[in-house]
Amino acid sequence: MGTGIASMLIPATLAIAPTISAADNRPASPSALAPAAASVRFDTSDREAVENAYFANWLPHAILKPEWTGNVKSCDPGTVSEEFQDGTEQSLNFVRALAALDPIVLDPDLSARASKAALIMDATGLLNHYPATSDRCYTSAGAAAAARSNLLLDDYLTASGIAEQYMDDPGSTNRRVGHRRWILNPVTTTMGSGTTNTANALTVVDVGKNPAARNPGYIPWPSAGYFPGDLEPHGRWSLSVPEDVDVAAATVAVKGPEGTPAAVTAYQPQSGYGADTLVWELGAAIELDGKTDQTYTVTVSGLRDWNRTRLPNYSYQVALFSPHRPFAAGKAPTIVGSGPFRVTDKLALTPGTWLPAGHSLDEDIQWYRDDQPLRGENMRMYYPEEKDVGHHITATVKPALLNPTQPYPPTEDLAHTLDFGVILPEDHTGWQLEMSRRPTLIGTPRVGKSLTVRATGTWQPRDEAVMVAYRWFARGRLLKAATNRTLVIRQSMLGKRIRVKMTGSATGLRSRTYTLTTRIPVQRRNP
């Protein structure tokens, strides 16, 4: 299997939705109410509120992997991490909040049963609401859950990616957007989510319902108001209608950002997946530049009630925008191990993390020899060659984008430089420390003044691994208390020449001492 969006056109990633009579989904037939769900509410007419909710309840879950503990060989359904399950629930509730619906909770019992359904899909590599008893890892509980669940196969499952793929509903077999309609069922209060490393079953039928739940009646997707651009379902838009509205003769018109009519292909409405729903396809791909919002106006006409009485047109606007926050450093990159490094050593780094966390962020790595980029060397490891011996090796790490259409430009000031020092030969016992520039002694040799060792160069072959010691002398006599790079001249030093020895030492290398002396003896204090 490969990766991709949920589409019957991409065999590696398939999704199918269960069918059930619309009457079984209406508020008149509720089941037990769900426990209270964590509220995710915001006003979609408030751009900032939608953006804040996106970064809090969606994007962080785009990098959460299942961490599945099960095993296909032993037919163990296992479990996923609590963080992943919570992220899946929050992602579903972010979608429902965009549509002005109440949140759901993932019921543990439903989720356990859904896990058995997901295991069957993973084991067979096929999506089937009615698995055969001969199927690998078949259980009656798994088969029962499969009949009540949205189903998904994908080699790269993430917590918010599950909701995203079901809501996109792409492919010729998903023109009824059944997955989307079940997730946007206003009265639903519980669902069950079972996941392996490559399969998901989301139980959406015969679940907890509340007839008094928030129900805006008309439920568009993308929803009215401000809408995050990366959740736009690749041109497949829909509008679910109240149960007393007939959409059989309805038509859809869409005006684009410039107010010009957009090409629209409408599909024949079909019942059986929650509320009756109009589905249409926009003819042109939507591309956001990351800076400018794009507003679309949708007008649906030809609506009637079940007595064939014509209803007013239903019109709304969708403002697609690119949520944006500047990059920030999370955990800084680090060097693996410590130097000095030899030509036979592997140089490696940990890349660190960047904020906001999400699927759009990665690291950009470049290795350098003496400040010259090494072509093609952009991985987390570098294997030195003989020509690297005696040369300085560094690596820079900075944020990068997996999806260049996202609105985050790489930020150069967040780049980290990791210094691996000068590469030594395999046998480097004869190598001696040296400074790239000889240190100097600055200051005035006068009582009451001070002298300081100024070292503007760096130690070679590895600066940060060097321990530096200072010893000060007055007319050859060691000043035992003076061990810093700066010496305050006292009256007792009058008439004497001052000398300092600066010594650098590092494990595995010969130490190096620099001796610096004043040109004239210490003078009297100025009157």
> What pLDDT digit, counting tens, does each position of 32-58 carry?
333 445 567 899 999 999 999 998 899
- pLDDT, greater one: 499 or 462: 499
Amino acid at 50: V
CA dihedral of 453, 454, 459, 463, whole degrees rounded to 10: 100
The percent of residues in the chain predicted with pLDDT above 90, rounded, is: 62
Closest CA to 203 of 81, 101, 115, 83: 115
pLDDT at 424: 84
Mean pLDDT over each residue of the chain, to the nearest integer:
85
Compute φ and ψ for 111, nearest 5 degrees. Answer: -70, -40
Place of tokens 């060989």: 73
CATH fold group of domain 328-423: Immunoglobulin-like (2.60.40)
pLDDT at 63: 81
Whole-number Å distance between alpha carbons of 117 and 35: 24
DSSP string for 485-504: SEEE--GGGTT--EEEEEEE
Question: Which range (201-205, 406-410, 492-496) has the least confidence?
Answer: 406-410
**Cβ atoms 215, 234 nearer than 8 A:** no
- pLDDT, greater one: 442 or 324: 442
- pLDDT, greater one: 60 or 75: 75
Beta-strand relationship, 477-478 and 467-474: antiparallel
CATH superfamily for domain 47-321 = CAP (3.40.33.10)
Band (pLDDT 50/70/90 cuts) for residue 180 is very high
Band (pLDDT 50/70/90 cuts) for residue 218 is very high
Q: What is the DSSP letter of 86?
A: H
Compute φ and ψ for 258, nearest 5 degrees. Answer: -90, 5
Band (pLDDT 50/70/90 cuts) for residue 18 is low
pLDDT at 284: 85
pLDDT at 196: 97
Whole-number Å distance between alpha carbons of 279 and 300: 11
Place of tokens 């996202």: 406
Band (pLDDT 50/70/90 cuts) for residue 249 is very high
pLDDT, one tens digit per residue, over 135-177 is: 999 999 999 999 999 999 998 899 999 999 999 998 888 999 9
Whole-number Å distance between alpha carbons of 462 and 435: 10
pLDDT at 33: 36
**Cβ atoms 507, 465 nearer than 8 A:** yes
pLDDT at 3: 34
pLDDT at 46: 95
Amino acid at 94: F
Band (pLDDT 50/70/90 cuts) for residue 8 is very low
Whole-number Å distance between alpha carbons of 183 and 18: 12
pLDDT, one tens digit per residue, over 428-463 is: 666 778 888 899 999 999 999 999 999 988 887 766
pLDDT at 110: 97
Beta-strand relationship, 277-282 and 225-228: unpaired
Whole-number Å distance between alpha carbons of 452 and 231: 62
**In a 10 Å sphere around its CB, with 0-12 CB exposed, 13-18 middle and 19+ buried, how is residue 449 labelled?**
middle
**Cβ atoms 219, 198 nearer than 8 A:** no
Question: Which range (235-244, 256-265, 405-414, 422-431) has the least confidence?
Answer: 405-414
Token pair belonging to 191: 């669902």
Token pair belonging to 474: 């007055």
| pLDDT greater than 70 at residue 475 | yes
- Structural domain spans, the chain: 47-321, 328-423, 434-520
| pLDDT greater than 70 at residue 64 | yes
**Cβ atoms 191, 109 nearer than 8 A:** no
Whole-number Å distance between alpha carbons of 483 and 154: 64
**Cβ atoms 83, 61 nearer than 8 A:** no
Angstrom CA distances, 498 to 470, 503, 516, stand at 13, 17, 9
Q: What is the pTM of this model?
A: 0.66
- Mean of pLDDT values over 285-290: 82
pLDDT at 166: 95
Domains 47-321 and 328-423 belong to one CATH topology = no
Band (pLDDT 50/70/90 cuts) for residue 258 is confident
**Cβ atoms 279, 267 nearer than 8 A:** yes
- Of the ranges 265-279, 368-382, 460-474, which is most confident? 368-382
**In a 10 Å sphere around its CB, with 0-12 CB exposed, 13-18 middle and 19+ buried, how is residue 58 labelled?**
buried
**For domain 434-520, which architecture applies?**
Sandwich (2.60)
